[in-house]
């Protein structure tokens, strides 16, 4: 071989090696591409299967939840079997190796991972929480012949604690799933499921807490006494309504009876005023410490309950272990469970008419003395029926769940160790000093000295604004108060003091509480700047506007508030419970962490 031929041969071998490497690369690419296409097709097919099973399972889960709450055990068992079949199929469809690979792919990986988590959550509920809940005899939470079986309650507590742990674990796992980058259908499905599980968790938490706390609260370790207070939504206060009639409840070894009854008006006034927190005094002066009807100008129920307890003790000599507050709307929910209640000398109370009867009709047809007598008789009749009538426990649990969610039943214990177990729960009515999600409070206090709150129709919209460079977010709040009061024809006891000038005009002090660590920026009433009273309470800035609403008219208050530093794109509203439920809307925004 000549010298000139050697380089040509080396170049030829080099070209052959490059062609061989190229052929291998192309072959490898073809194989990998084929596998990816097959995998994508398989994941797509399994995804279609999973979606169908999840849609069916979600519908069945909603049916089952309603049946469990409604006490329809027979249908619930059949629904549970169908749910387990669908949830198991969805879980299996999202568990194969192809799905595992797909979860790690760009773009679609987050969606596939979320679908997997949703499948697991529904299947865990179907196989662990719901069967236990159906097996649990909740009758132990309901009194029989005026007494709760304390020993049975303690057995029930163990069962309910296990159910609540399962629901809580599912809730926690779903809370970790990021939602911002998900496609809209999956994001909506996840948000809806979270809402359902939040509701279920609230229900199981209430049952679990009741089973643990009721034995000591009901006197298993010694007699207890409590104040049962009716909040009158016709004369609004921040926690719901003016404290009106009260009764002393006696509890001993699970048996409860009603003792002395009275009214706030009969307690008189207190001078010198009782000691109130400095922040409350700066907002409302000495009123909460002077007048029993004003103790709950603050939305922080423990402050109001403690003041009222002291007032009753000073005037009657009775020392109670706690305060339980309810309102006529909660009473209407309870009457759904018990059925109509007879009140001697009056028409029966039923769920459809009790709110109008107590908050409107009674003021039109009875004088002040007769009103007090009627409210006392009505409270005794409902209480007696609740204790002695056999009520479906699951229906009753649903009633209390709804009342607690709407803050229509509040409880404060004078024993600090017991009060701590309630924490910042809705039933405790505690105004938290920290937020998990930015929360804006809108609290209403009557300024008319009248009973016109029954005619108010409130609404509130809250919009989450843009992310700010300082890490805070601006929220835009819009509150509308509409009056359905007539222009003539109301009794003097309804019109009261007429402090707004025109006795048919509703004067309301609207207090807007910023999120914890936040602030209130500005406010406009019907588009014009409005003067605001200002202060703070429990790390929240408070701005109060005076809003007068004539009969048939409406007024709109627009307020801008700032959060503390937060990445959250969601927010919550805490509202004064009124005779007619609020109309609300919360418009969220993307997280600042995106």
Query: Is the same domain home to 468 and 456?
Result: yes
Amino acid 98: pLDDT? 53
Cα separation values, 51 from 45, 107, 116, 183, Å: 10, 19, 11, 14
Domain boundary among 154, 184, 217: 217
More confident residue, 461 or 197: 461
Mean pLDDT, residues 230-258: 93
Query: Is the same domain home to 239 and 138?
Result: no
**Residue range of the domain that includes 228:** 222-327+408-431
Kindly report, residue by residue over 424-455, the tens digit of the pLDDT: 888 999 999 999 899 999 999 999 999 999 99
Judged by average pLDDT, the poorest of 45-59, 343-357, 476-490, 566-580 is 45-59
With 60 as the cut, is the pLDDT of residue 21 above it? no
Query: Is the same domain home to 83 and 101?
Result: yes
Residue 392 is assigned to a structural domain of this protein: no
Tell me the three-class secondary structure of 537-590, residue by residue. ECCEEEEEEEEEECCCCEEEEEEEEECCCCCCCCCEEEECCCCCCCEEEEECCC
| φ, ψ at 458 (rounded to 5°) | -95, 155
Strand, coil or helix: 216: helix
Judging by DSSP bridges, how do beta strands 583-587 and 456-467 pair with one another? Answer: parallel
Domain boundary among 416, 431, 446: 431
Q: What percent of the chain has pLDDT over 70?
A: 82
Residue 513 is assigned to a structural domain of this protein: yes
Amino acid 300: pLDDT? 98
Amino acid 136: pLDDT? 72
Query: Is the same domain home to 472 and 576?
Result: yes
The closest alpha carbon to 229, from 319, 131, 309, 139, belongs to 309
DSSP state of 182: S
Query: Is the same domain home to 201 and 252?
Result: no
Cα atoms in the Cβ-side hemisphere of radius 13 Å centred on 130: 29
Kindly report, residue by residue over 255-307, the tens digit of the pLDDT: 888 899 999 999 999 999 999 999 999 999 999 999 999 999 999 999 999 99
Residue 332 is assigned to a structural domain of this protein: no
Query: Is the same domain home to 276 and 424?
Result: yes
Residue 248 is assigned to a structural domain of this protein: yes
Judged by average pLDDT, the poorest of 181-195, 235-249, 330-344, 398-412 is 181-195
Name the band, by pLDDT with cuts 50, 70 and 90, for residue 49.
Answer: low
Mean pLDDT, residues 514-520: 97
Amino acid 279: pLDDT? 97
Residue 119 is assigned to a structural domain of this protein: yes
The H helix count followed by the E strand count for the chain is: 17, 16
Query: Is the same domain home to 190 and 239?
Result: no
CB neighbours of residue 88 within 10 Å: 17
With 60 as the cut, is the pLDDT of residue 23 above it? no
Kindly report, residue by residue over 346-376, the tens digit of the pLDDT: 889 999 999 999 999 999 888 877 887 888 7
Helix (H) / strand (E) containing 402: helix 393-405
What is the biggest distance separating any 2 CA atoms in the chain, rounded to whole angstroms? 130
Mean pLDDT, residues 139-156: 72
Kindly report, residue by residue over 391-420, the tens digit of the pLDDT: 777 677 778 878 988 999 999 999 999 999
Residue 128 is assigned to a structural domain of this protein: yes
Judged by average pLDDT, the poorest of 42-56, 164-178, 273-287, 360-374 is 42-56
Query: Is the same domain home to 423 and 476?
Result: no
Query: Is the same domain home to 137 and 176?
Result: yes
Kindly report, residue by residue over 119-134, the tens digit of the pLDDT: 787 788 888 877 877 7
What integer best gives the mean pLDDT of the chain?
A: 84
With 70 as the cut, is the pLDDT of residue 151 above it? yes
Amino acid 31: pLDDT? 32
Query: Is the same domain home to 31 and 113?
Result: yes
Which residue has tokens 């296990």? 162
With 50 as the cut, is the pLDDT of residue 42 above it? no
Amino acid 168: pLDDT? 84
Domain boundary among 189, 217, 245: 217
Residue 352 is assigned to a structural domain of this protein: no
Query: Is the same domain home to 125 and 238?
Result: no
- CATH for 559: 2.60.40
Q: Which residues contact 342 (CB under 8 A, 6 or more apart)?
A: 348, 381
| Domains contained in the chain, number | 3
Which residue has tokens 């700047």? 529
Kindly report, residue by residue over 522-559, the tens digit of the pLDDT: 999 999 999 999 999 999 999 999 999 999 999 999 99
Amino acid 113: pLDDT? 72
Residue 593 is assigned to a structural domain of this protein: no
Query: Is the same domain home to 422 and 536?
Result: no
For the entire predicted model, the pTM comes to 0.80
Spatial contact of 244 and 230, defined as CB atoms under 8 Å apart: yes
């Amino acid at each position: 071989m000549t010298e000139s031929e050697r380089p040509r041969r080396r170049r030829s071998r080099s070209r052959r090696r490059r062609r061989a490497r190229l052929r291998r690369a192309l072959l490898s690419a073809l194989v990998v591409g084929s596998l990816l296409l097959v995998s994508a097709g398989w994941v797509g097919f399994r995804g279609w299967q999973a979606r169908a099973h999840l849609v069916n399972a979600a519908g069945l889960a909603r049916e089952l939840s309603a049946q469990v709450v409604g006490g329809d055990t027979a249908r619930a068992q059949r629904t549970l079997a169908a749910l387990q079949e669908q949830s198991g199929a969805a879980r299996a469809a999202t568990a194969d190796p192809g799905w595992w690979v797909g979860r790690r792919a760009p773009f679609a990986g987050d969606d596939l991972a979320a679908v997997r988590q949703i499948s697991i959550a529904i299947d865990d509920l179907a196989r662990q929480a719901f069967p236990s809940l159906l097996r649990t005899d909740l009758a132990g939470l309901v009194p029989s012949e005026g007494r709760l079986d304390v020993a049975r309650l303690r057995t029930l507590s163990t069962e309910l604690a296990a159910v609540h742990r399962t629901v809580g674990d599912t809730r926690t796992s779903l809370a970790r799933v990021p939602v911002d980058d998900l496609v809209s259908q999956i994001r909506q499905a996840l948000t809806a499921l979270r809402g359902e599980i939040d509701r279920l968790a609230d229900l199981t938490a209430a049952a679990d807490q009741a089973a643990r706390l009721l034995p000591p609260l009901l006197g298993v370790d010694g007699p207890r006494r409590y104040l049962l207070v009716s909040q009158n939504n016709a004369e609004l206060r921040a926690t719901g309504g003016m404290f009106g009639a009260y009764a002393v409840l006696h509890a001993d070894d699970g048996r409860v009876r009603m003792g002395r009854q009275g009214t706030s008006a009969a307690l008189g006034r207190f001078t010198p005023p009782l000691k109130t927190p400095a922040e409350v005094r700066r907002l409302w002066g000495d009123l909460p410490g002077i007048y029993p009807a004003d103790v709950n100008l603050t939305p922080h129920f423990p402050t109001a309950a403690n003041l009222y307890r002291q007032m009753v003790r000073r005037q009657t000599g009775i020392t109670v272990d706690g305060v339980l507050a309810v309102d006529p709307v909660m009473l209407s929910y309870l009457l759904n469970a018990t059925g109509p209640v007879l009140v001697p000398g009056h028409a029966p109370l039923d769920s459809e008419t009790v709110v109008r009867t107590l908050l409107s009709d009674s003021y039109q047809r009875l004088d002040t003395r007769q009103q007090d007598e009627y409210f006392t008789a009505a409270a005794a009749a409902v209480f007696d029926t609740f204790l002695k009538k056999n009520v479906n426990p699951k229906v009753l649990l649903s009633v209390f769940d709804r009342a607690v969610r709407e803050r229509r039943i509040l409880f404060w214990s004078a024993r600090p160790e017991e009060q701590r177990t309630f924490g910042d729960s809705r039933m405790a009515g505690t105004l938290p000093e920290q937020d998990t999600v930015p929360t804006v409070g809108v609290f209403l206090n009557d300024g008319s000295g009248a009973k016109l709150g029954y005619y108010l129709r409130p609404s509130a919209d809250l919009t989450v604004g843009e992310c700010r460079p300082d890490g805070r977010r601006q929220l835009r709040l819009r509150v509308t108060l509409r009056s359905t009061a007539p222009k003539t024809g109301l009794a003097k006891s309804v019109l009261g003091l007429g402090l707004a000038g025109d006795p048919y005009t509703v004067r309301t002090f609207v207090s807007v509480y910023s999120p914890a660590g936040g602030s209130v920026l500005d406010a406009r009433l019907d588009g014009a700047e409005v003067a605001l009273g200002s202060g703070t309470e429990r790390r929240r800035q408070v701005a109060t506007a005076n809003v007068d609403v004539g009969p048939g008219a409406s007024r709109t208050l627009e307020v801008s508030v700032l959060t503390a530093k937060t990445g959250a794109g969601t927010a919550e509203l805490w509202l004064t419970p009124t005779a007619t439920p609020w109309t609300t809307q919360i418009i969220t925004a993307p997280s600042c962490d995106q």
